[in-house]
A = this chain, B = another copy of it.
Amino acid sequence: MSLRPPEPTVRDVGEFGLIAAITEGLGPTASVPVSVGDDCAVLAPTGRLAVSTDAMIEDVHFKRVWSSAHDVGRKAVASAMADVEAMGARPLGLVVSASLPKDLPASWARELTAGIRAEAELCGAQLVGGDITSGDKIGIVCTVFGDLEGRTPTLRCGAVPGQVVAYIGNLGMAEAGLTVLRRGFRSPAAVVNAHRVPAPPYGQGIVASEAGAGAMIDCSDGLVADLRHIAEASGVVIALETDALQVAEPQKTVAAAIGGAEPLDFILRGGDDHALLATFAPGRVPAGWTVIGGVAAADGTPGVLVDGRPWDADGGWTHF
């Protein structure tokens, strides 16, 4: 029998040790003239500032048995920063408040930090501050900042009849991944990884804004649910054509494996991939975006039609 020394925990390393590791090498830049280490950070955006906050809680939004600490850090940043993209803003910075159990391995906390910083770097944002407390479960609150750089923010309420609806990014991949993980499987890798680390189409929010997008949102509640947010805010009907939606091979695999489910359902109901959904004047859809429907005047209640049929609030077709 061999005895391994116990792995150091968050309690062993302490708040100040963790903060030192997290903030190592973070310094001032042109857009962050005061970085970590004072009472506040100071941001110097060139335009107005887009701000959003998003919490990710263990066993609600992720499980430690399904995702690595690095995955969790990346997902926390990605899912929050997708909101910045959806305004047409450029990711600038973020602050993170983490609640960590005292007996959490210190290595887990360090990997979480590495994931946070990796995703921040990927989207071009700087970690500018944070807070660590102890808690029974892991909780990560990311508050993210984006520079509008003089652009007008693209809101949910700007969809106009006659525009087309388009998306860029993944749809229903994370949902298919969550489905297999819940059943105890770890493949197909493409969908499982999509659950672990979403891949928002960074930079495309600005592209959409510059193409004159009417309304924009990131897809986090589900494709139909998020299109409904646009429809209701804009007072229009959005007609979604499922022919335009491409079901991916691994989604078909998962649907078949779980017993004849409809793979399109992952796409229509699934959120958490943080694709961008936007409306454009016909002919002004940017390269790489896929048109999936159109905007019509609301003759009564605003909402979403799927292949011409109403879709109810539970995310399914209305049965009448």
Contacts and interface: CB of A to CB of B under 8 A. Distances in A.
Contacts of A129: 51-53
Given A40-B89, A87-B38, A53 B156 contact: no
A141 B97 contact: yes
A89 B55 CA distance: 27
B39 A43 contact: no
B136 A39 contact: no
Contacts of A296: none
Interface string A14-40: 000000000000000000011001111
Interface residues of A, number: 55
Given A40-B86, A50-B41, A57-B99, A135 B137 contact: yes
A223 interface: no
Q: Chain A's interface: helix, strand, loop or mixed, by majority? A: strand
10 contacts: A39-B52, A39-B216, A40-B50, A40-B51, A41-B50, A42-B50, A42-B148, A53-B129, A53-B130, A53-B143
A156 B52 contact: no
B136 A139 contact: no
Contact of A131 (B34, B53, B156): B53
B50 A155 contact: no
Given A134-B60, A141-B131, A51 B55 contact: no
Contacts of A156: 37-39
Contacts of A57: 99, 133-135
